[in-house]
Every structure is written in C-alpha cells, then in structure tokens.
Amino acid sequence: VDELWINHGTAILHAPMLEQRDEPGVGVDFKIARLDAIGEGKRPSARDVMPSRHQFGLKAGRQRVGAEIGDARDLVEADTLDAADPDFRAIRAFSDQVAWIMSAGPGEQSRIFVTQDGGTHWEPRFINTDPNGFWNAITASADGRFTVFGDPDASGLQFWQTDTNGQHLQRLNTPPALRPLPAEGAFAASGTCLFQLNPQSLWAVTGGAERARIAYSHDGGLQWQIRDLPLAAGAASRGAFSVSFRDTQHGIVAGGDYKEIHYDSPNIAVTQDGGNSWQSIRALPAGFLSVVTHVPGTNNTVVAGGLTGSGVSHDGGIHWRQLSTTPVNTIAFADAKHGWAIGPKGLLMRYQGAPLDVQTDSK
C-alpha cells in the first residue's frame, strides 16, 4: 500500500508510508507511530482511515500537521477548510487526488468537503441545514452515488443520497420501518456505522436505546427493513458501532459500551442471511469494539478493534485471535498484507504480521 487518507481530529492527513518504530506493549502484529499537530503540540484522536495505492504526500486541513514515524518527518501546508472547529469522522478516497470527508456535529457542523488535488484544496460540497440534524457516516457506491447516514428525527432514521455525479444531495423517504426508538441514534466513532456493498445494498447500525438495531436496504435505499441486534444496549453509550458485509448474505457487526469498555457482554454479531437473523459472539479482545472490517482479497477474514485492542477471525467472526492490546478507533485493510489502525492521541499503526489470507485456527 502506498497511501493513506486519515481523519486526524480537525485535520485531514494524506500520509506517506515511512518506517515505524517499535513501542512496548503493541504486540507482534503491529508497528506504531504517532501523528502530531505541529505548533500546538496536540495529538487529537484519529477517527477514520482509508488505504489506497498511489503516490504519497502529507496534507492537512485547518492546521499544519506532521507525521512523526521513527526518525523521519514530512510536513506540508494545506488549505484551511471553511468550517468552524470541524470534527471529521469519515473519509472516502478514490485516488491520490480525489477524496470526500465528512465532519460530524449538530446542524451546520455536519458538512462534506471534497478535494480534487490530493488534499491541497478542499471545497464544501454539502451542509446540513437541519439545526437538529447530525451526520454520522458516508459511503460511496460504484455508480458514483454517495449515501449519508444521520441521527433520526421524529419521522425516523435519516438517509441522504446524491445523484451519480455527486453534485446534489437529497433525503430519502422515511418508511414506517425506520421509526426510531426513544433515544436511538448512531455512533460516529469510527466512520463505519454505515456500509455499502454495491449500489443496491446498504446496512446501518444504531445504539443508545433499549435495543441495538440494524437497518438494511437491497434496493438502493428506497425500502428498508430493521432488526434487533444481540449486543449491549439500554444506555446512551451502548449499542452497535460498526458493520461490514462480505457479500449480500454474510455480515458482521461490532459494538459494546464506549464508557465501560470492559462491559461484559457479546461484542460481535454475525449473520448468514443478509441481516434478517443474528448470532451473538464474544470476540477477542473482550469489551468495547468500535470497528469491524472484512479484509479484501481473503475468503472470510475479518479484523475488529476498539479501546480494548484488536483481533482477527478467519471464519467470519466465530473464532478470534487477539492482535494487539493497543487502543484503536478504526482499522482498514487494503489486502491481506497491508492494514492500518488509527486511534487516540494521534495513534497510527501499520500491520506487519503474517498475511491474513492464511486460513489458520484463530481460537
């Protein structure tokens, strides 16, 4: 992998691959680095990462940012984004030049920015004009449409979608199936509470209510079904945080309690029928998991992570082996050999273990 796009607090990083240094307690499968906000000396929590295969540069919005990895350092100034204190939570990159990034927050703090020059300049594309609205995640399909997932209003969970040129955004109709539970919402912790497999198939997970739930559509968002998930619920900090599907039938959800990270409950749920029914799993690491993702190019390998560490399963989420005890917010893999994790205090980790397409007993 030659390139990363990273959400880093109030900055956008288009980060180079440099050599990482060892750090005690990380585990044999990851190497670690730290990303610094130069000038203020802060290390804001990184929230989303997307690997791709293009030439590297390091770019940032709103402030000058450096990547300190081993003894190497690369600093590049980037354009200031037209937003007050953006809280970036999700990024989707399509090349070394084109990427979309979403900031989360109430009302107009929820915005989407676009770059077409590798991150040097960003332009606001969409702004949430609903003062009570809150966007949590974005995803893109092969036909060029983007879907945005937002917290519910009185009528139900909010889904917004662009045209195939990505120029116009409108809210999808809200069927009765999407009516919210009291206090129900979504978690923008890792940028992965919404998943799109193809132009027709979408899944979104919720929490904060008496039950964790998953909504899914197989017609591009026109009609929806919703199911309960066997994960921690009943508190504002509990629920489902991340969803990923290998195909239209086989999927996985991760969750827990982000305030009580060692809360004793199943933290993974798996489905083999597209989301209609779910089986609960106690994965490794135990406790809160904010992200789960299928590893591209593998048959059935998934990696999950959260504030209790990260783990891998080679059978779609049934049996698990712990990879690291280092807290992370999100994880992304380009293939079985190249993966990245980011997290609190500017954490950046690169996977360096055995290829994850090797089918081994992961118990």
pLDDT digits (tens, 9 = 90+) for 205-244: 999 999 999 999 999 999 999 999 999 999 999 999 999 9
Q: What is the pLDDT of residue 215?
A: 97
pLDDT tens digits along 141-167: 888 788 999 999 988 999 999 988 888
Question: Which tops the pLDDT comparison, 352 or 61?
Answer: 352
Q: 52 or 285: which carries more pLDDT confidence?
A: 285
The pLDDT of 87-112, averaged and rounded, is: 81
pLDDT attached to residue 41: 44
pTM for the complete prediction?
0.80
When the pLDDT of each residue in the chain is averaged and rounded to a whole number, the result is 78
- Whether residue 265 has pLDDT greater than 70: yes
* Least confidently predicted of 81-90, 182-191, 343-352: 81-90
Q: Which of 139-153, 258-272, 337-351 has the highest mean pLDDT?
A: 258-272
pLDDT of residue 92: 79
Identify the burial level of 41 via C-beta atoms within 10 angstroms of its C-beta, where 0-12 means exposed, 13-18 middle and 19 or more buried. Answer: exposed
Specify the pLDDT at position 339.
82
Instruction: Give the per-residue pLDDT at 84.
Output: 55
Q: What is the 3-state secondary structure (H, E, C) of 9-66?
A: CCEEEEECCCCCECCCCCCCCEEEEEEEECCCCECCCEEEEEEECCCCCCCCCCCCEE
- Residue 238: which of 192, 285, 288 has the closest Cα? 288
For residue 93, the Cα-to-chain-centroid distance in whole angstroms is 13
Q: What is the rounded distance in angstroms from the CA atom of residue 352 to the CA atom of residue 28? A: 8
pLDDT (tens digit per residue) in 302-341: 999 999 999 999 999 999 999 888 898 888 888 888 888 8
Q: What is the pLDDT of residue 64?
A: 28
Model confidence pLDDT, tens digit, residues 189-198: 888 999 999 9
Q: What is the pLDDT of residue 309?
A: 93
Q: Smallest Cα–Cα separation from 187: which of 109, 253, 118? A: 253
pLDDT tens string 18-37: 334 444 333 334 444 444 44
Q: What is the structure's pLDDT at 271?
A: 98
